[in-house]
Amino acid sequence: MGQVRRKRRRPELESRKKRIDCSFCKEDKRVDYKDVTLLRKYVSERGKIRSSRVTRLCGVCQRQIATAVKNAREMALLPYISQRKS
Ligand SMILES: [Zn+2]
């Protein structure tokens, strides 16, 4: 019980804060389900919604995108997950 030596934290870990530069928040845009060209960027070829890790959106905007894509699917603007597997 003698050793109370604290390990120093690596500085890189501290400096690596979650800094998401969300393009939607930056430009103060609104997500519109009718804007298919925009939504396509956040949907994979298969028609899946890309994860926020890929899209680099903040949580709020990612949700908005997700609901917008779902709306667009319902309106037949975007496909549901497409045809066949591989
Ligand atoms: Zn955002």
Q: Is the pLDDT of residue 6 over 70?
A: yes
Confidence at 29, pLDDT banded by 50, 70, 90? confident
Domains of the chain from N-terminus onward: 19-74 (4.10.640.10)
Q: How many CA atoms lie within 13 A of 69 on its CB side?
A: 21
Q: What is the mean pLDDT of residues 23-47?
A: 90
Tell how far the Cα of 48 is from the centroid of ligand 1, in angstroms.
Answer: 20
Tell how far the Cα of 76 is from the centroid of ligand 1, in angstroms.
Answer: 26
pTM above 0.85, yes or no: no
Looking at every residue in the chain, the average pLDDT score rounds to: 83
Confidence at 9, pLDDT banded by 50, 70, 90? low
- Rounded CA separation 34/75 (Å): 9
Quote the tokens at residue 76.
């037949």
- Rounded CA separation 75/86 (Å): 26
- Rounded CA separation 13/11 (Å): 5
Ion ligand 1: residue ranges with CB closer than 5 A: 22, 24-25, 58, 61
* Residue 17 CB neighbour total at 10 angstroms: 7
pLDDT, position 4: 72
Tell how far the Cα of 62 is from the centroid of ligand 1, in angstroms.
Answer: 7
